């Protein structure tokens, strides 16, 4: 049934693009709300968190742009030299990893004294960078969980849950990963759930009990 197969591909692509667009908007909305809190409170950790969310939003936008470029190119993707595909690819991963680094630094906890040894560089840089993003997200989720244990607040557990969804999404994206093919739409749906949870976490007013 070629017609049914074509409609299924079209449906999954629409879902993928919509998920990436919503995730980008949610991340930028998180950055906006946290930056407002920073202007009110003046805490440097909030500024780092706002920068982190902004970079994550730019990363999602770059991923969306790369999907559009791949779809527009069709079956033949010219690879004669450094081009717009390379720009979108590197912007996505540089802003993703830098954004996660800023989020990690915003927790205000002492980083671990050890890091796992990385395997030798693989033949294709895309899967390596995706794996590095998963590694970053693992530490972000871990420290978000430790942050919740220390503070025991509803907001801190939402932050941990949100980043856990992002960690799951990037782990799923490792399945049959290729830099110039569409990502798995299911993984991007999980990703957008994570950003929505994070937006809800930073949107809620922070309340501290003296009891």
For 97-152, what is each residue's pLDDT tens digit?
A: 999 999 888 876 554 443 343 333 333 577 778 888 988 899 889 888 888 777 77
Would you say residue 171 lies in a domain?
yes
Question: Per the structure, how many domains does the chain have?
Answer: 1
Q: Looking at residue 210, what is its pLDDT? A: 39
CB within 8 A of 57, min separation 6: which ones?
24, 25, 27, 28, 30, 31
In a domain, 192, yes or no: yes
In this prediction, residue 206 carries a pLDDT of 52
Contact status, residue 50 vs residue 87, Cβ threshold 8 Å: no
Residue 17 maps to a domain: yes
Residue 114: inside a domain = no
Which residue is associated with the tokens 């992002």? 166
Q: Angle CA(201)–CA(209)–CA(47) in degrees, nearest 5?
A: 45
pTM for this predicted structure: 0.73
Q: What is the pLDDT of residues 25-64, one digit of tens each?
A: 999 999 998 898 888 877 888 889 899 999 999 999 999 9
Q: Residue 194 pLDDT > 70, yes or no?
A: yes
DSSP state of 98: H
Cα dihedral sign, 53-185-169-183:
negative
Count, residues in the chain: 211
Predicted confidence (pLDDT) at residue 10 exceeds the cutoff of 80: no
More confident residue, 138 or 176: 138
Report residue 116 as tokens: 């796992």
Answer whether residue 209 shows pLDDT above 70: no
How high is the pLDDT of residue 169? 92
Is residue 37 within 8 Å of residue 46, measured between CB atoms? Answer: yes
Residue 113 domain-assigned (yes or no): no
**What domain range is 160 assigned to?**
2-74+81-106+124-203
- Mean pLDDT in residue range 7-11: 72
- Would you say residue 14 lies in a domain? yes
Whether 118 maps to a domain, the answer reads no
> Has residue 119 been placed in a domain?
no
Give the pLDDT score at 94.
94
Place of tokens 């930073």: 202
Residue 191 to residue 64: CA distance in whole angstroms: 13
């Amino acid at each position: 049934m070629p017609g049914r197969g074509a409609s299924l591909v079209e449906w999954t692509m629409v879902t993928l693009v919509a998920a990436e667009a919503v995730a980008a908007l949610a991340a930028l909305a998180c950055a906006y709300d946290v930056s407002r809190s920073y202007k009110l409170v003046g805490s440097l950790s909030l500024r780092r968190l706002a920068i982190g969310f902004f970079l994550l939003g730019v990363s999602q936008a770059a991923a969306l742009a790369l999907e559009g470029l791949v779809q527009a190119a069709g079956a033949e993707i010219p690879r004669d030299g450094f081009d717009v595909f390379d720009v979108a690819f590197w912007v996505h991963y540089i802003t993703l990893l830098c954004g996660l680094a800023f989020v990690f630094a915003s927790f205000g906890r002492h980083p671990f004294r050890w890091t796992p040894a990385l395997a030798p560089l693989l033949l294709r840089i895309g899967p390596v960078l995706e794996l590095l993003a998963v590694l970053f997200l693992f530490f972000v989720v871990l420290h978000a969980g430790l942050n919740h244990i220390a503070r025991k607040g509803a907001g801190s557990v939402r932050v941990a849950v949100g980043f856990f969804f992002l960690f799951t999404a990037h782990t799923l994206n490792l399945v049959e990963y290729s830099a110039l093919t569409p990502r798995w739409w299911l993984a991007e749906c999980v990703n957008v759930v994570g950003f929505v949870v994070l937006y809800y976490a930073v949107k809620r007013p922070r309340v501290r009990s003296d009891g």
